[in-house]
C-alpha cells in the first residue's frame, strides 16, 4: 500500500519534517516534471546529487527517475573529496545526461583547481539543474563556461515535492533567463503579492511569493498529525486561499520570477527592507569571490546592519593589508552600485569556509548568532564542524 505521508528530514535543522503528501497524485506530479521540466527520457541517466533523507533524494533519486524508466545515480559525499574531479569522473563513467544539485556544491568547486573540470569526458550531459538556494549569475556563468550546456535554476520546496518555478527546455517556448528560476509550472497559480494588503504586485515590485489554492497534485495536504499548524503556517494569510512560500520575490515585465530570499532573511536598515540574498548577489559579481553569506545584526541606531562573510577563490589574496582593503572596497562598491548606500555592509569578514548543512544550505542563523555573540543552537546538521571556527577566526582577524 502507498503510505499516506512521507517523512522528510529538514535540510536546516536535521529534524524530521512530517509532510502529508498527496501520494495519490505524487507519481503523476513526478513523471510530469521528469518529462516537461527535466526533459528526461526512458533509457537516459539522471543524477540528483542529494542525500536520500532530503526531499530531493526521495523525489528525484528514488521515485521520479525510476518511474520514468531512467537510470538513477546514488552518491553520498562531498564534491571535492577524494578530489575535485569526483563528480565529473562519475558523469563520465555512467554517461550522465541530466544533473541536479544545489548551488553550494558548485560554488565549492569554484575554489578548486579548475583543471579538474577538463580531465573527464562530460559530453553526455545535456542540462544541469540547480535548486535549494538562489543561483547567483557568476556561478551560473562559471558553470556554463566549463560545461557549455543549459544551466537551469529552478525553485521548489519540500512541501511542493516538484518544481513550482522553472524553465522548460523540452518546449523552449520561452527563452532561458540567467538569474531567474523561470515561471510557474503546470497547476501552480503563483504570483507576487503585497504581504500587508494581499494585493497583486506590479512587475518590479517586491512582495511575497504565494500560490492560489488549491495546490496541484503531489503537494502537501497537511502537516502530519497537525492540521492546525498546516493551516496557520501555510494558509494563515488574508482570505485563507493563498499558500505562503515564506519567500520574497519579484517579477519582470515578461513574467519571469526572481527569488529575493526567505522572509526571515530580510533585514530592516533604517526603515528600508533589504533581502540578504540581494546583497549576496551583488557581492558575488566580484571576480575573486567563491561564495558569500550576508546576515543582519542588531544595531541601536539603524535597527539592523548587514554583515558580509566572504570566501575567496584564493585566500592568499588578503594576506596583505593593502590587498584586503582593496577587495573590501571593491565589494562595498559592488553593493552600493547595485542597491545603493543603504545596503552597504557594516563589516566584511573573510573566513576560510562557511558553515553549511549536508544538503548544501548555508546556516545563516548560526552565522548571525556568532556575529551577535549568541549561542549557535543545534549544529547536528553541520557538514564541516571546522567552519564555525573559521567564522570565529575571521571575526577575530578583522
| Best CA proximity match to 137, nearest among 286, 271, 24, 298 | 286
Q: How many CB atoms lie within 10 A of CB 201?
A: 19
| Best CA proximity match to 238, nearest among 203, 200, 185, 272 | 200
Among the residue ranges 63-72, 161-170, 328-337, 379-388, the one predicted with the least confidence is 379-388
Q: Tell me the average pLDDT of the chain.
A: 88
E strands, 1-74, are 6-9, 16-21, 45-48, 71-72
| Best CA proximity match to 67, nearest among 223, 181, 218 | 218
CATH 3.40.630.30 fits 270-397, yes or no: no
Cα distances (angstroms) measured from residue 23 to each of 6, 67, 106, 226, 367: 9, 14, 32, 18, 37
Q: Each residue of 298-326: pLDDT tens digit?
A: 988 888 999 999 999 999 989 999 999 99
pTM, two decimal places = 0.79
Among the residue ranges 39-43, 46-50, 270-274, 385-389, the one predicted with the least confidence is 270-274
Q: Each residue of 5-20: pLDDT tens digit?
A: 455 666 666 666 666 7
Burial class (CB in 10 A: 0-12, 13-18, 19+), 359: buried
CA angle, corner 360, sides to 143 and 37, nearest 5?
60
Over 154-167, what HEC string results? CECCCCCCCCCEEC
Q: Each residue of 135-155: pLDDT tens digit?
A: 888 889 999 999 999 999 999
Q: How many CB atoms lie within 10 A of CB 203?
A: 12
In terms of DSSP bridges, do strands 16-21 and 220-223 run parallel, antiparallel, or are they unpaired? antiparallel
Retrieve residue 192's grid coordinates: 507576487
DSSP annotation of 308 reads E
179: left (phi over 0), alpha (psi -120 to 50) or beta: left
Rounded to whole angstroms, the Cα distance separating 322 from 310 reads 17
Pick the CATH number of 6-186+216-225+249-258 from 3.30.70.270, 3.40.50.12780, 3.40.630.30, 3.10.105.10: 3.40.50.12780
Rounded to whole angstroms, the Cα distance separating 216 from 301 reads 46
Residue with grid cell 515564506, as numbered in its chain: 246
Every domain of the chain and the residues it spans: 6-186+216-225+249-258, 270-397
User: Does residue 221 register a pLDDT over 50?
Assistant: yes
More confident residue, 231 or 21: 231
Amino acid at each position: 500500500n502507498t503510505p499516506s505521508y512521507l517523512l522528510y528530514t529538514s535540510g536546516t535543522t536535521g529534524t524530521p519534517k512530517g509532510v502529508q503528501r498527496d501520494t495519490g497524485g505524487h507519481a503523476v506530479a513526478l513523471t510530469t516534471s521528469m518529462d516537461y521540466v527535466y526533459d528526461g527520457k526512458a533509457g537516459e541517466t539522471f543524477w540528483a546529487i542529494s542525500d536520500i533523507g532530503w526531499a530531493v533524494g526521495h523525489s528525484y533519486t528514488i521515485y521520479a527517475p525510476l518511474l520514468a524508466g531512467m537510470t538513477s545515480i546514488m552518491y553520498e559525499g562531498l564534491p571535492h573529496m577524494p578530489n575535485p574531479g569526483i563528480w565529473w569522473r562519475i558523469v563520465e563513467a555512467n554517461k550522465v545526461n541530466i544533473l541536479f544539485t544545489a548551488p553550494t556544491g558548485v560554488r565549492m568547486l569554484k575554489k578548486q583547481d579548475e583543471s579538474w573540470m577538463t580531465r573527464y569526458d562530460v559530453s553526455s550531459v545535456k542540462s544541469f539543474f540547480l535548486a535549494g538556494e538562489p543561483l547567483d549569475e557568476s556561478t551560473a556563468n562559471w558553470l556554463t563556461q566549463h560545461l557549455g550546456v543549459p544551466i537551469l535554476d529552478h525553485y521548489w520546496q519540500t512541501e511542493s515535492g516538484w518544481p513550482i518555478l522553472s524553465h522548460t527546455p523540452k518546449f523552449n517556448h520561452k527563452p532561458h533567463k540567467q538569474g531567474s528560476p523561470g515561471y510557474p509550472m503546470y497547476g501552480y497559480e503563483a504570483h507576487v503579492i503585497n504581504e500587508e494588503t494581499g494585493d497583486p504586485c506590479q512587475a518590479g515590485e517586491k512582495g511575497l511569493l504565494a500560490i492560489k489554492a488549491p495546490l496541484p497534485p503531489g503537494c502537501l495536504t497537511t502537516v502530519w498529525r497537525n492540521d492546525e499548524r498546516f493551516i496557520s503556517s501555510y494558509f494563515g494569510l488574508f482570505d485563507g486561499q493563498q499558500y505562503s512560500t515564506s519567500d520574497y520575490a519579484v517579477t519582470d515585465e515578461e513574467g519571469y520570477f526572481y527569488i529575493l530570499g526567505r522572509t526571515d532573511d530580510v533585514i530592516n536598515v533604517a526603515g528600508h527592507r533589504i533581502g540578504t540574498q540581494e546583497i549576496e548577489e551583488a557581492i558575488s559579481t566580484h571576480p575573486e569571490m567563491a561564495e558569500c553569506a550576508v546576515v543582519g545584526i542588531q544595531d541601536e541606531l539603524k535597527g539592523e546592519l548587514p554583515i558580509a562573510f566572504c570566501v575567496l577563490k584564493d585566500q592568499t589574496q588578503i594576506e596583505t593589508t593593502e590587498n584586503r582593503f582593496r577587495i573590501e572596497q571593491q565589494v562595498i562598491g559592488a553593493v552600493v552600485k547595485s542597491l545603493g548606500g543603504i545596503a552597504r555592509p557594516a563589516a566584511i569578514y573573510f573566513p576560510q569556509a562557511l558553515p553549511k548543512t549536508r544538503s548544501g544550505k548555508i546556516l545563516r542563523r548560526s552565522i548571525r548568532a556568532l556575529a551577535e555573540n549568541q549561542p549557535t543552537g543545534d549544529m547536528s546538521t553541520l557538514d564541516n564542524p571546522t567552519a564555525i571556527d573559521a567564522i570565529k577566526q575571521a571575526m577575530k582577524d578583522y
